[in-house]
Amino acid sequence: MVSQKSFLPLAADTMGFINLLRSSPDNLNSQSTSTISTILNIRMGICFSSTHNDGDESDHNAEFAGGNVTLVSSKDAWDQKLSEAKKDHKIVIANFSASWCGPCRMIAPYYIELSEKHPSLMFLSVDVDELTDFSTQWDIKATPTFFFLRNGEQFDKLVGANKPELLKKINAIVDSEPPHRAV
């Protein structure tokens, strides 16, 4: 059986994990598989969606909302925010995340910061565990997943807590938006 210590040095080398799995897949126990999964998730900046309840009743609002980010807590609230964005000609960036997801918690403050820097965009946050059926409709396979919507229609998507890529996508949107005239 492969011990946890035998593959921890490989944490910095994703190919090491792949080679380990190829060489001895039958020797991995559930603890080592779980640790490999966790390290790969951290390296990739994503958490794979699953039913997860560790008894942590922490408030999703505290970590994922703030600045100009609105926490969406129902399908009706989602519809209302999309309608508002359409009326105001705003692009929507929706962050589908989970309170138990480390990469989600890591990028949340940055997402809030971006919302404050770009008030011309609408920033939403959806807890995939709170709105399970709704999230399933969006085919969320990993968290965080960011959807970019124009007039309620998805035009781009980013999976993972990739700060440079998120900034790049937001800057491209802001740079392509025509200036709005004051009435």
Cα Dmax for the chain: 70
Q: In whole angstroms, give the CA distance from residue 145 to residue 104.
A: 9
Of 101, 107, 108, 161, the catalytic one is: 101
The full 3-state SS of 44-101, as one line of letters, equals HCCEECCCCCCCCCCCHHHHHCECCEEEECCHHHHHHHHHHHHHCCCCEEEEEECCCC
Is residue 47 annotated as part of the catalytic site, yes or no? no
If DSSP codes are grouped into helix, strand and coil, which group holds residue 179? coil
Selecting among 69, 82, 104, 158, the annotated active-site residue is: 104
Would you put residue 67 in left (φ > 0), alpha (ψ -120 to 50) or beta? left
122 in Cβ contact with 84 (< 8 Å): yes
Concerning whether 101 is annotated as a catalytic residue, the answer is: yes
Residues carrying an active site annotation: 101, 104
